[in-house]
Amino acid sequence: MTDEHVTSDSEEKSFFPDWAKPYSDIDGEIASVYPAKPHFVLLGAGASKAALPHGDRRGQSVPVMLELVDELNLIETIPDDLRELARADFEAAYSRLVERPEYDTQEIDKKITAFFSGLRLPKEPNLYDYLNLGLREKDAIFTFNWDPLLVQSQVRLRNMGVDRLPSLFFLHGNVSVGYCERDDVSGIAGDAGIRGYPCSHCGQPFKPSKLLFPVEHKDYKSDPFIAREWEAAVEILEHCFWFTIFGYSAPKTDVEAVALLKGAWGDIEDRVFEQLEVIERPGREDEDIRNTWDPFIHSHHYDIVHTFFESSIAKHPRRTGEAYWNTYLFGQLTEDNPVPMNCENLESLIAWFEPLLSAELME
């Protein structure tokens, strides 16, 4: 651009695209639907724990890996010399087992798959329903979790007529999702209490995706389904404007995952407009969280909150991009449009989202 363009044109609108307009209240936010960049959400075990504070429909809680060892009596299947290690660090013990050619890990794998397949969302509106409803089709949720709760939520929302939901990706595989290697297509495998459907290309039922165990040297390229999910993660993270990390504390066994994410996020100097948000259980020190994610944070462009309901998605549902523009680029005071916390049933929660959904159809 030449100097002439900058100084002689008094319209002064060139910095902002035509579709971006500041707004002053909640109605303005509901009516604003920009073709904004994706919101990238990363889920760890803490998100499913937060989604089931009183357990699943039958009261079953979501255990962490170490609790699983006792919950599923996995210790019985582990050779004597590794039992002590398995009780202290199951991932490390599993990692050693995989390296023993004489040992078959199938029994452990089967028990874990059966356990997670048995989990069911409670009937009441769940945190995962809020999360799915709070994002748009342009947005994406990437989860490390094996449980089927996020998928069960999307299936029930679709059955109730909401079909503009975020894309889902499964970075360590999932019990409810399958993959057709021939056609490179994934879909619902029909386990975990959800009706499955066949591959749209070949008509064959989906083969359940492999669950990638948290061993020390994860190889994300060895399984075609998981490789594809990671390719999407890298691509979308590169182009997102907002990165929310929910209940994922980047454990030491996940060095490779964090390195891949950092590679896609790139240099923080190139991320001056983007925002990082961490939702972490109450009790964990903010400084500790800040240090964990330091390589991803550009100066003050980050938020740490301790429940989902304090997050950008709960305060500006389906409009996180618009609220971001309004606050940071237009410098407006942006009122929150908080999701209702005590909805009696899913119907009333969906009804609350109707004005947002309708405004999107006008675009």
Part in contact with Zn ion (CB under 5 A); list of ranges 38-46, 55-63, 182-190, 348-356: 182-190
Residue 225 CB, nearest distance to Zn ion (Å)? 12
281 belongs to the binding site for Zn ion (CB under 5 A): no
Query: Which residue is associated with the tokens 């996180």?
Result: 320
Residue 300 CB, nearest distance to Zn ion (Å)? 48
Return the residue of 84, 104, 183, 238 that touches Zn ion, per CB under 5 A. Answer: 183
The letter for the amino acid at 149 is: L
Spatial separation of the C-alpha atoms in residues 94 and 194, rounded to whole Å:
30
202 belongs to the binding site for Zn ion (CB under 5 A): yes
- Residue 180 or 356 having the CB closest to Zn ion: 180
- Residue 118 or 190 having the CB closest to Zn ion: 190
188 belongs to the binding site for Zn ion (CB under 5 A): no
- The bridge status of strand 185-188 relative to strand 207-208 is unpaired
201 belongs to the binding site for Zn ion (CB under 5 A): yes
- Residue 200 or 345 having the CB closest to Zn ion: 200
Size of the residue set binding Zn ion (CB under 5 A): 5
- Residue 84 or 181 having the CB closest to Zn ion: 181
- Residue 139 or 191 having the CB closest to Zn ion: 191
Distances (CA, A) of 329 to 242, 310, 325, 363: 14, 22, 5, 22
Q: Are 150 and 176 in contact (CB under 8 A)?
A: no
For residue 229, the 8-state DSSP code is H
175-187 burial, b if ≥16 CB within 10 A, otherwise e?
bbbbbbeeeeebb
Residue 180 CB, nearest distance to Zn ion (Å)? 3
Q: Are 131 and 145 in contact (CB under 8 A)?
A: no
Return the residue of 69, 171, 175, 199 that touches Zn ion, per CB under 5 A. Answer: 199
Residue 113 CB, nearest distance to Zn ion (Å)? 22
207 belongs to the binding site for Zn ion (CB under 5 A): no
Q: Are 23 and 332 in contact (CB under 8 A)?
A: yes
- Which of 248, 156, 142 is CA-nearest to residue 194? 156
Q: Are 323 and 287 in contact (CB under 8 A)?
A: no
180 belongs to the binding site for Zn ion (CB under 5 A): yes
What is the token pair recorded at 236? 């979308």
Q: Are 242 and 39 in contact (CB under 8 A)?
A: yes
- Residue 185 or 297 having the CB closest to Zn ion: 185
181 belongs to the binding site for Zn ion (CB under 5 A): no
Part in contact with Zn ion (CB under 5 A); list of ranges 201-209, 271-279, 304-312, 324-332: 201-209
Residue numbers of the site for Zn ion (CB under 5 A)? 180, 183, 199, 201-202
